[in-house]
Each structure stands twice: as C-alpha cells, then as structure tokens.
C-alpha cells in the first residue's frame, strides 16, 4: 500500500511538473509568418511618424508567431531565454536588416527583441533564437510577395482597388497554399497591410491558412 501510495504521489508530481512545463513553454498548433507592407504601417501612424519618411517599397517581416487554432489569442511572453544580440551571427544580422527592419521607430534590434520575447519564447523547444531568425529569413526568401503581386499587376496605386480574392489568388498560385490577408482601416478605406503564410508545427512545411478575419472580405482593398 505504501509503495502504491508513493508511486501514485510520484505520478501526480511528475504530471504536475509536466503540466507546468507545457504551460510555461507555451503550446501552439502552427506558425503564422507575417509580412507587412511598410507604407501602410507609416500611413496609419499619425501621432508618431515613421523614422524614415520614405518607407521601404517591399514586404518586410513582421514576425513568426506560434499560434493556436482553438484559441485566437496567441500564446505570448512564454517563460524562455530572453533575446540577446550576441545570439545572432553577424552575417544573419546584416540579412535581417534588409528583411526584418523596424520600419516604424528604426531600431531593428529592439524590434527583433520584442518579437522573440513575445512570440519566439513560445516555440523555443522547436526553434532556438538563432534558428527562429534563420528560419524566418529563409521563409522571407522563399517567396517574394512584392514580385508575385507585381507580376499579377497588383502594384501600389492611389485609387485602384482589388477584391480580396484578386490579391490572394496570385499568391496562392505561386506558393500552392492559401495565405491570409490583414488590412488596416484608414478613414473609409481598407488598406492592404499584411500577408500571412502558415506553417506546420515544426515551421518547415507551408500549409493553408484557414483563419477568416483580417480584411473585410466583402469590401474592396486598396494597396498604396
């Protein structure tokens, strides 16, 4: 009986530790890889303008977010290693300055730090700091959204608008997977802001995104 009790106590304890570990390290089903159109970031920032008055004219990385299908609130700020610049090799830093700049305040390091500490810590069991940024860089390189849209004659224009499906369709043809579009409201216009690619649990295989919110699907989208 004593043996049984201690075994039981051990099992309960082991489970409790396992549970705590899972909770603290965050749990997720898949990744959202989010790229943004810098001119839209800057247009909707009225109070504090972007540090560079002429925003970059190509899609840049916003972040790689471990996400959960059943819980729309993403796991965030998990208990993991905190970001240090020294974790990134110099060659990678110089590439990230192109692909993952802070288009708003101009402090790239601070942007990377914020994204890692908020999101990256929640998938640290799969991607450590270096791998998290390397994988994101590779995802950015794998499909050039700016070029995909350009080839479909979707280029920044002050008045022309597109349907949600007009923009999704060339991206879907090029990648073989359904992306998700996110918009920002600017007065009565909805501006294309972000394109999301979804990846499996290991951040290797691109999969279809199946979330719906993002842009009002029935409304025209402006790309400026």
- Work out how close the CB of 27 gets to ligand NAG at its nearest, in angstroms, rounded to a whole number: 3
Rg (CA), the chain: 20
Q: Which is nearer to ligand NAG, 94 or 210 (CB)?
A: 210
- Work out how close the CB of 2 gets to ligand NAG at its nearest, in angstroms, rounded to a whole number: 32
Active site residue 194: no
Among 113, 115, 157, 194, the one annotated catalytic: 115
Q: Which is nearer to ligand NAG, 2 or 91 (CB)?
A: 91
Active site residue 119: yes
Taking CB atoms within 8 Å and a gap of at least 24, the contacts of 163-168 are 163/220, 163/221, 164/215, 164/217, 164/221, 167/192, 167/221, 167/223
Q: Which residues are at the interface with ligand NAG (CB under 6 A)?
A: 24, 27-29, 58, 68-71, 79-81, 107, 109-110, 113, 144, 146-148, 150-151, 174, 210
Residue nearest to ligand NAG (CB): 27
Q: Which is nearer to ligand NAG, 55 or 80 (CB)?
A: 80
* Residues known to be catalytic: 62, 115, 119
């Amino acid at each position: 009986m004593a043996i049984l009790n201690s075994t039981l106590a051990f099992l309960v304890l082991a489970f409790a530790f396992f549970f705590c570990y899972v909770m603290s390290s965050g749990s997720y089903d898949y990744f959202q890889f989010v790229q943004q159109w810098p001119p839209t970031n800057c247009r909707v920032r009225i109070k504090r303008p972007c540090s560079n008055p002429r925003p970059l004219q190509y899609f840049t990385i916003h972040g790689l977010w471990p996400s959960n299908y059943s819980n729309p609130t993403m796991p965030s700020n998990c208990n993991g290693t905190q970001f240090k610049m020294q974790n990134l090799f110099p060659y990678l830093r110089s590439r990230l300055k192109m692909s993952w700049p802070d288009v708003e305040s101009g402090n790239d390091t601070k942007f990377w730090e914020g994204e890692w500490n908020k999101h990256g810590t929640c998938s640290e069991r799969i991607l450590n700091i270096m791998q998290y940024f390397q994988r994101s860089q590779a995802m950015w390189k794998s499909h050039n959204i700016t070029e995909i849209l350009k080839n479909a004659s979707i280029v920044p224009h002050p008045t022309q608008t597109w349907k949600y499906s007009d923009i999704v369709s060339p991206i879907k043809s090029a990648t073989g997977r359904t992306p998700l579009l996110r918009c920002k409201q600017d007065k009565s216009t909805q501006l294309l802001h972000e394109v999301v690619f979804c990846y499996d649990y290991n951040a290797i295989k691109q999969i279809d995104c199946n979330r719906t919110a993002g842009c009002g699907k029935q409304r025209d989208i402006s790309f400026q």
